[in-house]
Amino acid sequence: PVSLGWHQVTSQEANGRISNILQSTKGVNVISPTWFYLNDNDGNIYSLASRDYVNYCHQNNVEVWGLISNLENPEADSTYVLTHSSVRDYLTSQIIAAAIEYDLDGINLDFEALSGEVGDAYIQFIRELSLKCDGNGIVLSVDNYVSSEYTKFYDREEQAVFADYLIVMAYDEHYAGSKESGSVASIGFVTKGADDILAENVPSEQVILGMPF
């Protein structure tokens, strides 16, 4: 089983805290640092990756799945990048190059706030990235919202054909600014999130349940 912890890294200095983080946890066998993000409309990525970080994790039998996001640079247009095949191909090549350079075990794809018009291109992106990951022995995991009518275009069933794991972000039921107050993740919300992704024909062995503190 995968017991993964996301590690929010916003500076090179934060990489130096990995020893303290691992020493204060139990049972974690995968760490996913927030190292990469889409940085422009040409498919370039920004990186905070550290080889020393990876080496330390490997010495402690912990895999490293570098996270790549599309949220940090508002000037980078995810729709443009994903719907232009040459740019999309360059982006996947940049991701794989970084994974190889830093000896990563996996990639965690965290593309959020997409519009419905980009659904087909997003799935094609996952297909193309998965082929390059598979060719280089790299695990591909994809972060997903809990199932809903307005996130159907993320097509989790098709994702599961290509990605190794789908992570259900079973939280943010209520948040700052939401219409109602309540828990971040009530047990009913979490259970439904797990049940719904299984109902979309995603094999249970590919599902990782994302939980908040």
Among 94, 101, 4, 115, smallest CA distance to 40 is for: 94
- Whether the Cβ atoms of residue 200 and residue 157 lie closer than 8 Å to each other: yes
- Which three-class secondary structure state does DSSP give residue 33? strand
Query: In the predicted model, what is the mean pLDDT of residues 89-101?
Result: 98
> Given a cut of 90, is residue 212 above it in pLDDT?
no
- pLDDT, tens only, 164-192: 999 999 999 999 999 999 999 999 999 99
Q: Measured in whole angstroms, how far is the alpha carbon of residue 101 from the centre of its chain? A: 19
Model's pTM, two decimal places? 0.96
DSSP code for 146: P
Among 188, 202, 104, smallest CA distance to 144 is for: 202
- Beta strand 139-145 with 106-110 is parallel
Compute the distance between CA of residue 67 and CA of residue 132 in angstroms, rounded to an integer.
16
Mean pLDDT for the chain overall: 97
> Given a cut of 90, is residue 61 above it in pLDDT?
yes
- pLDDT, tens only, 130-145: 999 999 999 999 999 9
